[in-house]
Structure 1
Amino acid sequence: MAQSLRLAAAADLQSVLPPILAQLERQTHIHVDASYQSSATLATQIQNGAPFDLFMAADMSFPQRIISEGLADADKAVPYARGTLVLWVRDDSPFRQLSVHTLSDPALKTLAIANAEHAPYGRAAEASLKSLCLYDQLKPKFVIAENIAQTAQYVDSGNAQAGLISLTSALTERLRANGHYIAMPRDSYPPILQGAVVLKNSSNRTQAHQLLEFLLSSPIQKELAVYGLEPANTPETGH
């Protein structure tokens, strides 16, 4: 019988991990039950005693919070990928020629972004807009979502005209079919380095480390890139 691991995974991984976890199960017979929510929500659940084995966040700060509370089995989070922030619109929107200038177009009335208190991609979106001197102008137009998956839903459903979302969301089959995107300037936001920690109270720590090693293996890192996550060890550091 397959062993079962409980994984707390950031919302941007919802479109990425299922085929990879299926591969893991075929190769190792480790079955993974994943819960996808904002990194902050998952960190709070772990702090409140939720019985997860592994926490994969959308940045390094939330795993660090778990480490500082003595809830992880290591003193450092393991970076497993780098995320990319993109501006996405539906194909039927008035913004055919998408560029950063679209954000200052008076025709843009609503912009979906993730809650910066809960979601690292929301923090990246705010940082990018501030860097481009667009934040104050756009703040009244924000449609705030709880996490990055919900941000993508808001803009895909038409509840917002444009959205600052993860490349992982933009590359899903649905969003590729419905819209188009451009990457936000890389130097406009801090690198979105995504980190993971194995939890100290896990009853499956060996298997949790096995999953982490699997994710860091060269074939899986290449597969993550197809879904919009760069390898964590790319030489560019971004400032």
Structure 2
Amino acid sequence: MDRLGIQITINPLLYSKDPESSELGRRIVSKSIEMMAEMGFETFTFKKLGVAIGSNESSIYRYFDSKHTLLIYLVNWYWSWMEYHLVFMTHSMTSPVEKLRTAIEMLTKRVTQDQKFSYIDEVLLYKIIIAESSKAYLTKDVDAENEKGFYKTYKRVVQRVSEMVLEINPSFEFPHMLISTVIEGSHHQRYFSEHLPSLTDFEEGKNNVVRFYTDLVFKTIS
């Protein structure tokens, strides 16, 4: 039952001052999600963010030392939030199949707004996760950042769901490969559906991203 105590926690090495500790910090996070989702990570700058929130660019640097660490912060927030819901939704389930099916659905379905976090727009944050999150770790500094624990929350989600796979088939050889493929692949399919539709079979309203990856996982581990 202690797993139900999971909170939205972020590695403190990602910020100089906790943005949740002040109104300005929360505005920085909220507006950066809005702007990054609209203009993309490359075009987004702290100077533009400062103008948008009516604050000096230097005030943003008191919270984050670069837009790269801000992006990693947002990615961490998303995966901590996802882990919280994953644990909450599956903790009382006794069937390993039901748990894994629920987890796959949560990881591959379209995100909806969570009213418990008023300054975070999870729908826009999900757009950033789909389009920009790989830029958080496809860098030359990934090994050093990994040593600092910057990707720990994402890895923990993969670990939790991999354990569900092994509950069903303890001899399955590739649980982490399978689950990370499901997560990244489902994000790609969502991205393709909006920008490169000939690369996907996505159809609005048919839930076929969830259905495809659920089918893929259970056939693979059977």
- In which range does the TM-score fall when normalised by the shorter chain? under 0.3
Higher helix share: 2
Higher relative contact order (CA 8 A, sep 6+): 1
TM-score by length of 1: 0.26
**TM-score calculated relative to the size of structure 2:** 0.27
More strand by share: 1
